[in-house]
Amino acid sequence: MAAAATFLRPSARAALAGVWLSVWLFGAAAPATADPLPVFEVAPGVFVHAGRHEETDATNAGDIANCGFVVGDDAVAVIDSGGSPIVGHRLREAIRAHTDRPIRYVVNTHMHPDHILGNVAFLPDQPDFVAHGNLQAALAARGEHYRQAFDAAVGAAAAAEVRIIPPTLAVADRLELDLGGRVLDLAAWSVAHSDNDLTVLDRRTKTLWAGDLLFMERAPAIDGSVLGWLRTLDALAAVPAARVVPGHGPPSSPWPDAAADLRRYLGRVVEGVREVQAAHGTIQQAVDTVAADEAPRWRLFESYNPRNVTAAFAELEWE
Amino acid sequence: MTTPHRTISTLSVTALAGAAWLCLSGAGALAASPQEERWDLLRDMYFSGRTVEDAGPLLSLEAPKRANDAAVVPIRIVTAPGSGVQVTAVHLIVDENPVPMAATFRFPHGDSPQAIDTRLRVNAYTNITAVAETSDGRLLRTTQFVKASGGCSAPALKNAQLAVARMGKMKLNLPDNIVAGKPLTAQLLISHPNYTGMQYDQLNHYFIPAHYVKTVAIRYNGAPVLDVQSDISMSEDPSIHFSLVPEEQGTLDVTAEDSNGRVFQESWPIRANSGS
């Protein structure tokens, strides 16, 4: 498919340079050394750090989602930057431990803070920040809320460095990024986990970075459309990948088998909510019953299933 | 997830994009609980100079202990008028939200019990407050504390494009068995993004203007059933469950108007079985 990216330069470039300059001027740039994040090479040149199955707090400093990078002959692409500036700095150190090639791209798979708050650590590299065309509007509606939530969870000192970095390269449909002898195929999806999900396929190793379109082990969060997510998983199953890097879960897993648990869970939510609605039940009744037997299969289930059922209820009553 | 403001010393109300924002600043040494301090400010703002009593049995409020989804928090208010006292209206307030007054429900039949279910946005740890107005001029208050949602759930639209495409569409859900003369509970859904006006565009440095459902008038065979005034603390796609006593043949008419002056209208016939 033809490249259909929207290039925001030069205005976004100028804005970004301004942010970078102010970071530099006020001395909030990367610490000289940060402890490198442990990363696992899931395929040649494809490195993944697996986040913890926890909520963001002061101890984990937002290290709760997978992030990593792909190394080409000429350049490096970061794929998700971690859940805090600190995690971003540590990811950058991990990259520097493996390669001195320039970091030309920071790809954000979607808007959630555990995937994007490390962006600020890469400003000195002056990369393109690449995201789904809807990401900027989604962050306009949520950025301040995310910043306050991070402050409350991690503390004011760590939050002082948080910046919401606007994308410089927005993907409307498809985009190829050439890292030198290595092409990444980016695909923007319609509303699913969120309304700005972006996947990355490394052609050379057939590794699919699914972002939060794939949760494993940790209970998923529906922040877009449950029906859209199920449709997107159908389409994603056809992507010719040998392995997948989930947004949450192990560093990699065979594709498409890795999505089986998620599909089953989302299906149960839809089916359960429809049953409650057919009986004129309430949201609270749905929250109390729907998908309850999935509890032993997921970490943090009690935190996320009630939210998912509520979101699905509001969506499905418009069917 | 977010920490509520614990100290409040000044209150300023600023008109911005048609919405009143409640801004908090400063720090003061205050004796009462932060929730009660906040309530004192809200009472002065919304019910200036009037006494607000504890509601007792005339008004009850149900809310979840925690907001599961910050954008959709289900709430129920129930009135129990009695001994010659009518409950003519209920105000629903999310104390810590930037625009706390979420909605006012006015009941033309204040002498009969009313149950209203709706959905609210909850930004932070907050009291949710219901204040009833009675026919003898009293204000009756009840509150529930609700913890904010976790896991980065934000009170924002999940599907912004769909919200715009579907704006103004309405749905009416009725029970399967409708009997004339017997009260029923109906659910009205109005699709609307209910933009808060607090969404800041980081790149272009402007606030996306507020755009929300302001009034909803529900009529049955021409007679008022419920009148609602609402604001941005109501969830996207506002949902209202309300009570109605059907006749054998009747028509329900709904007129909603949003803050941009757009008017949405819909009518549904309601057929009831004879109630003998």
Whether B19 shows a pLDDT value over 60: the answer reads no
Of B2, B156, B189, the CB nearest to A152: B2
The CATH class of the B10-271 domain is mainly beta
Per-residue pLDDT, B89: 98
Per-residue pLDDT, B203: 59
- Residue-wise pLDDT tens digits, B242-254: 999 999 999 999 9
Q: Which of B251, B225, B252, B196 is nearest to B115 (CA)?
A: B225
Whether A295 shows a pLDDT value over 90: the answer reads yes
Query: pLDDT tier at B201 (50, 70, 90 boundaries)?
Result: low
Calpha distance A85→A108 (Å, rounded): 14
- Residue-wise pLDDT tens digits, A5-42: 444 443 443 444 444 433 433 434 444 468 999 999 99
Put simply, the answer to whether B152 touches A112 (Cβ < 8 Å) is yes
Whether B60 shows a pLDDT value over 80: the answer reads yes
Query: pLDDT tier at B120 (50, 70, 90 boundaries)?
Result: very high
Q: What is the SS3 string spanning A202-222?
A: ECCCCEEEEEEEEECCECCCC
- Residue-wise pLDDT tens digits, A138-168: 998 898 889 999 999 999 999 999 999 999 9
Put simply, the answer to whether A138 touches B160 (Cβ < 8 Å) is yes
**Chain A 100-119, residues with CB within 8 Å of chain B CB atoms:** 112-114
Put simply, the answer to whether B117 touches A143 (Cβ < 8 Å) is no
Chain A residue with minimal CA distance to B175?
A280
Chain A CB contacts of B1 below 8 Å = 149, 152-153
Say yes or no: domain A5-256 is CATH 3.60.15.10: yes
Chain B residue with minimal CA distance to A281?
B175
Put simply, the answer to whether A314 touches B149 (Cβ < 8 Å) is no
> What angle, 0 to 180 degrees and rounded to 10, lies between the N-to-C axes of helices A260-278 and A301-316?
50
A193 Cβ under 8 Å from any chain B Cβ: no
To the nearest whole Å, the CA of A59 is away from the closest chain B CA by: 16
**Chain A 23-52, residues with CB within 8 Å of chain B CB atoms:** none
Q: Which two structure tokens, joined as six digits, stand for B260?
A: 């941009």
Chain A residue with minimal CA distance to B158?
A224
Calpha distance A16→A22 (Å, rounded): 10
Chain B CB contacts of A18 below 8 Å = none
Whether A172 shows a pLDDT value over 50: the answer reads yes
Q: How is residue A52 annotated by DSSP?
A: P
Q: Which of A29-33, A183-187, B162-166 ranks highest by mean pLDDT?
A: A183-187
A13 Cβ under 8 Å from any chain B Cβ: no
Chain A CB contacts of B235 below 8 Å = 314
Put simply, the answer to whether B68 touches A146 (Cβ < 8 Å) is no
Calpha distance B129→B146 (Å, rounded): 10
Identify the weakest region by mean pLDDT among A35-39, A110-114, B7-11: B7-11
Of A12, A137, A282, the CB nearest to B160: A137
- Residue-wise pLDDT tens digits, A75-99: 999 999 999 999 999 999 999 999 9
Query: pLDDT tier at B23 (50, 70, 90 boundaries)?
Result: very low
Query: pLDDT tier at B202 (50, 70, 90 boundaries)?
Result: low
Chain B CB contacts of A311 below 8 Å = 69, 71-72, 158
Under a CB-based contact definition with an 8 Å cutoff, are residues A214 and A259 in contact?
A: yes
Kindly provide the ipTM of the predicted complex, given to two decimals: 0.87
Chain A CB contacts of B74 below 8 Å = 282-284, 310
Per-residue pLDDT, B45: 96
A224 Cβ under 8 Å from any chain B Cβ: yes
Whether B275 shows a pLDDT value over 90: the answer reads no
Under a CB-based contact definition with an 8 Å cutoff, are residues A311 and A223 in contact?
A: yes
- Residue-wise pLDDT tens digits, A228-275: 999 999 999 999 999 999 999 999 999 999 999 999 999 999 999 999
Chain B residue with minimal CA distance to A310?
B69
The chain-wide mean pLDDT, for chain A, equals 91
The chain-wide mean pLDDT, for chain B, equals 87
Under a CB-based contact definition with an 8 Å cutoff, are residues A177 and A6 in contact?
A: no
Query: pLDDT tier at B22 (50, 70, 90 boundaries)?
Result: low
Per-residue pLDDT, A7: 41
Domain ranges in chain A are 5-256
Chain A CB contacts of B203 below 8 Å = 12, 15, 136, 166
Do you know the residue count of chain B? 276
